[in-house]
Structure 1
Amino acid sequence: MSVDAPAKVIPQARKITTKPRRSDQIFRIVVTIGGMASLVILGLIALFLSIKGMHILIDEKFNFITESRWEVITNENGDVTEANFGIGAMLVGTMLSAVIAIFVGVPISVLSALYLTFYANGKIKKFLISVIDLMAAFPSLLFGFWGFFIFMSSAEYWAKLINKYLGFIPLFDVPTPIFERSPFIAGLVLAIMIIPIVTSISREIFDQTPLDRIQAAYALGATKLSMIKAVVIPYGRGGIVGGAMLGLGRAMGETVAVYTVLNVVYQVNWQILFGAGGNVASLILLKFGEAGPYEVDALMAAGLILFLLTLLVNAAADFLINRFGGKGR
């Protein structure tokens, strides 16, 4: 007796489509709105600063950037009779403090990221990562108070040592023995502030180093240090540059911490150990409370210059990442 084989049921052809699901469409819309909202907000900030401060830039022309005066003369009725605005000294102080912060903070951040990625283990690694993430969330006012009451005495001693042994270099010369509240101290405080940000970004990049490249380096007899130099650093140099530029932007725009540990003086000071200087953000903080309408517009113009300078730094970061941030082979 033979049993008939069951008839083969041919499944219906599945329709292949590239149309995303409804949930993906909703998510894409939400992400697009969020991204466009940030661009719109930045554009509105730039527009507001331009409307408020553009007439000051037109009146002062390049003197607003090159001069180091900030004078407002009013009559008995409170009307402005003469005004001279210039942020040249503040721009120099901004760049000096930010460069010191990058010069000190980035190497420490990269070494910390390498330690957390390839040397720290277990609970120590988790604890240190938590501490770094917590430091990134500290308000700048706490860094300013810490720098003023605790850190300044030690930093002043270091400044005296640098002046003693390297004072023949004009950058480290001091016209009078005033080492308190100098760009050097402000730069060190800013370096402490940017270390958590640069460390977190560098650690994330180092974690993404392809495992096959690491294992291949070990298979060829490389030590851990040699592997880091040959594989990890070339692979992550774009992230290091991006983190450094992000830290530079943070250092350039910092207000309260710099205002707390730096003497705001309207003169160009290239001597980083001398207790005089300032930056654009601290100038705005210092003058805004007592400024009249015309001076407020000048402060908005200073904010516009700082805004454009930050955009320029970000553009330079993109260029450097694209130029030198290629993945290591």
Structure 2
Amino acid sequence: MSTSTSVPLQSEIPPARAIILTRRLSDRVFRGVVTAGGFVSLIVLGLIALFLASRSIDIFKTFGFGFITEFKWDSGDPDNGIPPVLGIGAMLIGTIVTAVVGLVIALPVSVGMALFLEYYMPIRLKKSLTMVIDLMAAIPSVIFGLWGFFVLMPHAIYWAKLLHKYFGWIPFLDVQAPIFERSPFIAGLILSIMIIPIVTSISREVFSQVPLDRIQAAYALGATRWTMIKAVVLPFGSSGIAGGAMLGLGRAMGETVAVYLVLNLYFQPNFQVLFSAGGSVASMIVTKFGEAGQLELQGLMAAGLVLFIVTLIINFLSNIIVKRTSRTGN
């Protein structure tokens, strides 16, 4: 038996494609626009920092490091010889407490939603639900604040009473007096709802980059879907989850209007999250700005500079963690 192989004619062979080494005009234009946008953002960020620093340098010269550690805000009375005392120590503590409460509530919900979207949600519904979660990040903070004040707060007060009743032996769940309105717990609930879209989006992006061969290897060894998630997905995405959590923490620390509407301003450190006292740097700026004199205005600028630096550092570290996870998969 003879076999014959068909040799393609020369006319049937497509011509070789020319390799273009120079960038097209459209690529150069797009690259220029994106680069210019990045530099503009960097310049605006630097100008904001320069403006805050120039307006607040006298405060740091006058009060020094005590401006950050002092737990009192009093403009004083120069006519009667009472010196001013300006400090944001209590507000910094309140900012951290409310942000941590929000993160503790939002993190498990966000990770669960990311896992559900990536490994359990039917494909035909995945895009719609993802779009809804992403749209939550576009809702103005004042809407969250008003909804929290009129709708969430009455229910949250009841939840706070239950937590105090059954877990009041835990120091940070104890209260000095049975007053649960406008507490760090309620502010943390609002912040948790606001940062859920951020943490969910980053976690889902990290989970989508899990190598397929590891997933298939886990299934080949007889693992169930949940076992595969515990053994492969969560270890792979742990750093990305941490980065997303830090990014959400930065957003929560800088939130202003929503916290202002649901939290009492109290210039004493308060670690009892259920008690109606607290505050944050951003809400303090909103509260004091309208009635502030020249010295207090400079103090508010200095407070904004401190908050600006803290949130910038947190966001910078979170971006480093997320990018490192995306490159290495560790």
Shift in Å at residue 72 of structure 1? 1.6
- Any idea what SS the aligned residue of 2:85 has? strand
Task: Give the number of aligned pairs.
Answer: 315
Superposition TM-score, scaled by structure 2 size: 0.88
Distance 1:113 1:324, change over 3 A: closer
The answer on 1:121 being equivalent to 2:122 is yes
Match of 2:51 among 33, 48, 51: 48
Distance 1:131 1:318 in 2: 24
The answer on 1:206 being equivalent to 2:207 is yes
Q: Which moved more, 1:18-27 or 1:225-234?
A: 18-27
Shift in Å at residue 74 of structure 1? 5.1
Alignment of structure 1 residues 9-48 onto 2, 5 Å = 18-48=21-51
Aligned 8 A contact 1:234 1:327 in 2: no
- Any idea what SS the aligned residue of 2:75 has? strand
Alignment of structure 1 residues 136-151 onto 2, 5 Å = 136-151=137-152
Shift in Å at residue 26 of structure 1? 2.5
Aligned 8 A contact 1:194 1:251 in 2: yes
**Could you tell me which residue of structure 2 aligns to residue 83 of structure 1?**
84
Alignment of structure 1 residues 1-329 onto 2, 5 Å = 18-73=21-76, 82-317=83-318, 327-328=329-330
Q: Which moved more, 1:200-209 or 1:82-91?
A: 200-209
Shift in Å at residue 97 of structure 1? 0.5
- Any idea what SS the aligned residue of 2:84 has? strand
**1:32 maps to amino acid:** T
Structure 2 unmatched runs, 5+: 1-15
Cα-to-partner distance string for 1:71-117 (whole Å, 9 max, x where unaligned): 124568xxx97421110110010000011111110110000011111
Q: Which moved more, 1:145-154 or 1:232-241?
A: 232-241
Shift in Å at residue 225 of structure 1? 0.7
Distance 1:136 1:315, change over 3 A: closer
**1:23 maps to amino acid:** S
Which of structure 1's runs of 4+ aligned residues deviate more than 6 A?
A: 13-17, 322-325
- Any idea what SS the aligned residue of 2:252 has? helix
Distance 1:41 1:155 in 2: 39
Distance 1:185 1:142 in 2: 15
**Could you tell me which residue of structure 1 aligns to residue 3 of structure 2?**
none
Distance 1:259 1:247, change over 3 A: same
Shift in Å at residue 322 of structure 1? 7.7
Distance 2:302 2:137 in 1: 29
**Could you tell me which residue of structure 2 aligns to residue 5 of structure 1?**
none
Shift in Å at residue 303 of structure 1? 0.2
**Could you tell me which residue of structure 2 aligns to residue 10 of structure 1?**
none
Aligned 8 A contact 2:210 2:329 in 1: no
- Any idea what SS the aligned residue of 1:102 has? helix
Distance 2:38 2:240 in 1: 22
Q: Which moved more, 1:81-90 or 1:120-129?
A: 120-129
**2:113 maps to amino acid:** S
Q: Which moved more, 1:146-155 or 1:306-315?
A: 306-315
Shift in Å at residue 143 of structure 1? 0.8
- Any idea what SS the aligned residue of 1:209 has? coil
- Any idea what SS the aligned residue of 1:222 has? coil
**1:251 maps to amino acid:** A
Cα-to-partner distance string for 1:30-60 (whole Å, 9 max, x where unaligned): 2211111111111111100000011101111
Distance 1:136 1:97 in 2: 19
Shift in Å at residue 123 of structure 1? 4.6
**1:49 maps to amino acid:** L
Structure 1 unmatched runs, 5+: 1-12
Distance 1:110 1:188 in 2: 17
Shift in Å at residue 27 of structure 1? 2.3
Q: Which moved more, 1:213-222 or 1:271-280?
A: 213-222
Shift in Å at residue 129 of structure 1? 1.9
Distance 1:130 1:261, change over 3 A: same
**Could you tell me which residue of structure 1 aligns to residue 12 of structure 2?**
none
- Any idea what SS the aligned residue of 2:143 has? helix
Shift in Å at residue 189 of structure 1? 1.0
- Any idea what SS the aligned residue of 1:208 has? coil
Q: Percent identity?
A: 58
**1:119 maps to amino acid:** Y
Q: Which moved more, 1:156-165 or 1:174-183?
A: 156-165
Distance 1:267 1:229, change over 3 A: same
